[in-house]
Amino acid sequence: MYCPNCNDIRLNQYITPSGIEIDFCPKCNGNWLDKGEILFFVENKEFVEKELKKSIKKSAFTNKLSPISKEPMETINYLEKIKIDYCKQSEGLWFDRGEFSKFSKISNIEALDFENNNGELVNKFSVYFEEEFKETNEKTTLIKLPNLIFTSFVTMGTVFSLFTLFFLSILTFFSVDLYISIGLSILFSFMGLFISPMLYDFNITTFMSGKLVDFNNLPDNIQNLSSNISNQYNIKIPKFYIIQDEAPQAFTYGYSPNSGRIVLSQGLLNLLNDDEVDGVVAHEFGHIIHWDMVLMSIIMVIPKITYLIYKHFVEQMKNKETSSSNGDNKKGTAQLALIAVVAYILFYISQLFVLYFSRVREYHADRFSASFTKSPHSLANALVKIGYGLIKTSDQKTEKEHTLSSSPLNIFDNKAVPAFAISSFSSHQNQDNIDDLKEVMKWDLWNPWSSWYELNSTHPLIANRLIALSNIAETQNKKQFFIINEKKPESYHDDFLIDFIIYLTPYSCYYVFYFL
The domains of the chain are located at 12-106, 148-515
451 CB-side CA count, 13 A: 9
Cα–Cα distance for residue pair 267/385, rounded to 1 Å: 11
Quote the pLDDT of residue 227: 96
Q: Are 395 and 245 in contact (CB under 8 A)?
A: no
Torsion sign (Cα): 268, 271, 275, 279: negative
Quote the pLDDT of residue 202: 86
Query: Which amino acid is it at 2?
Result: Y
**pLDDT tens per residue across all 516 residues of the chain:** 789 988 878 787 766 655 667 788 877 888 888 888 888 777 778 888 888 888 888 888 888 999 988 889 999 888 888 888 999 888 999 988 878 777 777 765 544 444 444 444 443 334 455 556 555 556 666 666 665 555 655 565 566 666 666 665 665 566 555 456 556 656 666 666 677 788 788 888 888 888 999 999 999 999 999 999 999 999 999 999 999 887 788 999 888 899 999 999 988 888 888 899 999 999 999 999 999 888 887 787 778 777 777 877 777 777 766 665 555 566 667 777 888 888 888 888 888 988 998 999 999 999 999 999 999 999 998 988 887 555 444 444 444 444 444 455 566 555 544 434 333 333 333 334 466 666 767 777 778 888 888 888 888 988 889 989 988 988 888 877 777 666 766 677 777 788 878 877 887 787 677 666
Q: How many CB atoms are closer than 10 A to CB 91? A: 14
Q: How many CB atoms are closer than 10 A to CB 56? A: 15
Residues 344-360: b if buried by 16+ CB within 10 A, e if exposed:
bebbebbbebbbbbbbb
Q: Are 415 and 456 in contact (CB under 8 A)?
A: yes
Cα–Cα distance for residue pair 350/348, rounded to 1 Å: 6
3-state SS, residue 74: strand
Cα–Cα distance for residue pair 11/32, rounded to 1 Å: 9
Cα–Cα distance for residue pair 31/3, rounded to 1 Å: 9
3-state SS, residue 186: helix
Quote the pLDDT of residue 116: 46
CA distances from 474 to 168, 241, 313, 371 (A): 51, 34, 54, 12
Q: How many CB atoms are closer than 10 A to CB 45? A: 13
Q: Are 115 and 121 in contact (CB under 8 A)?
A: yes
Beta bridge partners of 390: none
Cα–Cα distance for residue pair 210/239, rounded to 1 Å: 12
List CB contacts of 398: < 8 A, sequence separation 6 or more. none
3-state SS, residue 139: coil
Q: Are 240 and 269 in contact (CB under 8 A)?
A: no
- pLDDT tens track for 418-448: 434 333 333 333 334 466 666 767 777 778 8
Torsion sign (Cα): 219, 220, 223, 225: negative
Tell me how many degrees the CA angle 122-128-134 measures, rounded to the nearest 5.
125
Q: Are 471 and 429 in contact (CB under 8 A)?
A: no
Strands 12-15 and 21-24, by their bridges, are: antiparallel
Cα–Cα distance for residue pair 114/119, rounded to 1 Å: 9
Q: Are 448 and 492 in contact (CB under 8 A)?
A: yes
Q: How many CB atoms are closer than 10 A to CB 223? A: 15
Residues 470-491: b if buried by 16+ CB within 10 A, e if exposed:
bbbbbeeebebbbebeeeeeee
Largest CA distance in the chain: 91
